[in-house]
Every structure is written in structure tokens, then in C-alpha cells.
Amino acid sequence: MSLAIEDSTAPALSVRHVCKRFGDLQALDGVSFVLKPQEWIGLLGPNGAGKTTLMSSIAGLLQPDEGEFELFGQRVSPWASSRARALLGIVPQEIALYSLLSARENLEVFGRLNGLTGADLQQRVQWALGWTDLASRADEQIAAFSGGMKRRLNIACAVLHEPRVVLLDEPTVGVDPQGRRRIWDMLDELRNNGASLIHSSHQLQEIESTCDRVMILDRGSLVASGRVDELADTLAAGLRTVTILFNRAPEALDLGERFTFQGRIGEGSVRDAGRELPELLGRISSAGLEVVSLEVSTPDLEAVFSGLTGAELRE
């Protein structure tokens, strides 16, 4: 059951000036952003940054004090039943399954809750069992399933009705590396089939390698949004880190004020690697030194996050 979209050219999700206060705590402070069709956004922030409040507000589980949401151009009211809500799939961090039921029975229950019946329901259940690689365990009680199997089934129950926007809260928490890889493959397939994804996660490396864009929340405000390389370039003011391993410790080598040395290792920064590196290598050669290895790097997502929020991402 794939619902028709009134305006296929509209953003998948528009969030406009959303504010939410709990007593003296400003949990969300004017958050606005747009999720494009088939875009995959990673939502990051320290504990207490407002991630859960934002996700709950989009899902309609929490009423913001100000702001509005649109799904494909359709205004969504958090407390009113809306056809637009059927375009949304919600995957909670906590496993939301019936442990005494089988995988197939769980899928059937959640499918019916999302409006699926008859042949449509059975077709989607069969699809989900194959998609999650659980077809051989379809009729077993899920109480004996591993954490990764439950996570995969949890996601499938949320997307049986083919939502066009999927919210995921820590979809791989507690799952081993092989299980996480399987879940990311599932999510990539969802996106390739037309869904737009937004999820919060503490898995920085996976977000960096899979998401189209990263949004960073801090103290209820959206402090940065963009591709990791764009954010890194802004944070580093265009500089690139250069790490050089010499054949011996340099004694009187001058590579400029941006370089420091410790033992056989020199570290500094350049703004234009193509122009500056040949000059640096010339100085090194003139000093009678050899370069064992040289690495040029930009800040990774962890460095971007710490630089923008002053905090490490904590579980």
C-alpha cells in the first residue's frame, strides 16, 4: 500500500521554527530544516541537545510550543489524525515487539495497525521476512531471537505500509558490527526505493559513511547542517592537516610556524596542498632528511562534532 503524494516536487519533510520548553529548559529553540526526497540525514548531538524532543515532535508524540511540519507539502498537526501521518514510519530506540508472538505474527499485527489488510498485508509480510533475512525463522517466537534479529524486525514493522519518510532513533544500538552492516544495507535499500530517512545515532563512523548530510543539535538549536566535508572545511577554515614521518628526528628543520615536531614526526597544516607540499618537500630534502610517510587529512566527523559543540558524543 503506497499512498499517493499530492505534491511530488515538495520537500519530503519541512520543519519550521519548532520550539519546545519544559519549565526552565528550552529543549528546542527555533529548529528549522528541510529533508529532500530520498535524502538520508544523520542527527547528532550531546545528551540533552534536543534530539529525542525533535524526533518525538515530528512523529506527533509531543506537541511543540511553536512551529509547524509538512510532509510532501501537506500540513501535519501533531494531535489531529491526518492522512499525511500515513506517509511517516517511526522506528523507536526501544524494541517495540510482542515477545510471545512469532516474527510473522508481529508483522501482521503492525501491518493491520497501519491499515494493511488481505492480500496486501500478506504480500508485505512476505517481503519483510525476505528483506530482514528472517524467512527461515518466520514462525518462531521472537523471545529467542538475537538483538540484531529483533532490531531488523523492529524496523520492518515500522515500514510495512511503505512510508515515504522514516524516523529512526538509534536503529543499531546494541547490535554487533555484522548486524549493523546488515541494517545499514536494509536502510540503503529503503532509500533507493524512494524513502527519505532521518535518524539519530551515536555511530559516528557509520553516519559519516552512509548519510548524505549531517545535522548537529546543541542546546536545542541546530548549530550545523551539511555534508561532513563541507562542515570540516568550514571548521578548519580550509586548512588540511599534514603528518610527516621522517627517517630520523629533524634537528634544524623550518617548515613554517604551523608545524611542530616530536621525535621523527612532524605535524602541521596547509591551505593549498598542491602548491605548498612541493615547497615543504624541497625544504626537507635540502635539510638532508627523507620522508618515510606523509598523510594529508581533513577533520573527521568526530572532530567536527567536538569543534562545534565542545563535547564528545556520549552514549
pLDDT of residue 202: 78
Identify whether the C-beta of residue 81 lies closer than 8 Å to the C-beta of residue 110: no
First vs last C-alpha separation in the chain: 37
The x, y and z cell numbers of residue 253, run together, are 628543520
* Total Cβ atoms within 10 A of residue 295: 10
Task: Give the HSE-up count for residue 311: Cα atoms under 13 Å, Cβ half-sphere.
Answer: 15
pLDDT of residue 8: 63
Please list, in sequence order, all residues whose beta carbon lies within 8 angstroms of the beta carbon of residue 242, skipping any fewer than 6 positions away. 259, 267, 268, 269, 270, 273, 277, 280, 294, 295, 296
∠ CA 186-196-219 to the nearest 5 degrees?
Answer: 105
**What is the full per-residue pLDDT of the chain (315 aa) written as tens digits?**
444 555 567 899 999 999 999 999 999 999 999 999 999 999 998 888 899 999 999 988 889 999 999 998 888 765 544 566 788 999 988 999 999 999 999 999 999 999 999 999 999 999 999 999 999 999 999 999 999 999 999 999 999 999 999 999 989 888 888 888 899 999 999 999 999 999 988 778 778 888 999 999 999 999 889 888 788 777 666 678 899 999 999 988 999 888 999 999 999 888 888 888 999 999 999 999 999 999 988 777 777 777 777 766 554
Topology of the domain comprising 13-95+155-232: Rossmann fold (3.40.50)
The x, y and z cell numbers of residue 25, run together, are 529548559
pLDDT of residue 82: 56
Give the Cα separation of 68 and 66 in Å (integer).
Answer: 7
Please list, in sequence order, all residues whose beta carbon lies within 8 angstroms of the beta carbon of residue 199, skipping any fewer than 6 positions away. 41, 42, 43, 91, 166, 167, 168, 169, 170, 171
pLDDT of residue 315: 47
Tell me if the domain spanning 237-297 has CATH number 3.40.50: no
Radius of gyration, CA atoms only, the chain? 24
pLDDT of residue 21: 96
pLDDT of residue 314: 52
Give the Cα separation of 10 and 12 in Å (integer).
Answer: 6
Q: Are strands 40-44 and 221-226 parallel, antiparallel or unpaired?
A: unpaired
Task: Give the HSE-up count for residue 225: Cα atoms under 13 Å, Cβ half-sphere.
Answer: 13
Domain with CATH 3.40.50.300 in the chain: 13-95+155-232
Domain with CATH 3.30.70 in the chain: 237-297
Q: For the whole model, what pTM was predicted?
A: 0.79
Identify whether the C-beta of residue 58 lies closer than 8 Å to the C-beta of residue 105: no
The amino acid that residue 216 corresponds to is I
Per DSSP, the three-state class of 241 is strand
Identify whether the C-beta of residue 49 lies closer than 8 Å to the C-beta of residue 80: no
